[in-house]
Amino acid sequence: MNKIVLASNNSGKLAEFQRLFQPLHIELIPQAQLAIPECPEPYLTFVENALAKARHASKLSQLPAIADDSGICAVALDGQPGIFSARYASSDEQPKSDQANNQKLNQALQSQDNKQIYYVCVLVLVRAFDDPQPIIAEATWHGIWQSEAAGEHGFGYDPHFYLPEYHKTVAQLTNAEKNSISHRAQALDLLVSKMQYLDLIKRDE
């Protein structure tokens, strides 16, 4: 396995995945490069949406495909926005916007005493469209919601995702720091371990 299609058109995720895949002997091809459109995400769980996106990209490319479904969950809001994180504040009149999403979640948590939040990432790799045994990895990353945005790195909710142990938001971390501890990095490490176990890839030490 030396070529994998990334089933995402999110530029932030693409940059993050390319950095995370650097040690692997794999060419990561963004689906937009192959004119593959975004896949609908009609399901209520991260894993179902990730699987749908991976199968969609693999079917149209005839290549193995990897997809992630990820989001932010607020404990005080019963896990919301969850799978709706990317389109939390969007509507027919309001397109997807990180700024609008952050503002809406900030307002929702303003009156809550519990500011605990966590990122979820579920990665799914299919070797072919009809792969009967998709490789699945899941990880979470915990923090505290900070009402005031801080930092210029990252994307999405990162400027408000405060890490007490670092005394920084995720957006204040360097790329190297984020890529060593993020939910996506943790999930990818788990996925790579499973791929190595199945002799699908090798990895630089």
pLDDT, tens digit, 9 for 90 and up, residues 157-190: 999 999 999 999 999 999 889 989 999 999 999 9
Mean pLDDT, residues 1-10 taken together: 88
Q: Which helix (H) or strand (E) is 197 found in, with range?
A: helix 183-197
Q: 62 in helix, strand or coil? A: coil
Question: pLDDT at position 17, please?
Answer: 84
Question: pLDDT at position 24, please?
Answer: 81
Distances in Å between the Cα of 149 and the Cα atoms of 152, 158, 159 are: 9, 8, 5
Question: pLDDT at position 9, please?
Answer: 83
Summary mean pLDDT of the chain: 92
**Cβ–Cβ under 8 Å, residues 86 and 119:** no
Question: pLDDT at position 12, please?
Answer: 78
Catalytic residue chosen out of the listed positions 69, 78, 131, 158? 69
Q: Which two tokens stand for residue 9?
A: 């058109």
Peptide bond into 81 cis (omega under 30): yes
Clarify whether 69 is annotated catalytic: yes
CA angle, 174 then 158 then 117, to 5°: 125
Burial of 155 (0-12, 13-18, 19+ CB in 10 A): middle
Question: pLDDT at position 107, please?
Answer: 97
Mean pLDDT, residues 8-20 taken together: 82
Instruction: Render pLDDT for 44-95 as a digit per residue (tens, 0 to 9).
Output: 999 999 999 999 999 999 999 999 999 999 999 999 999 999 999 987 677 8
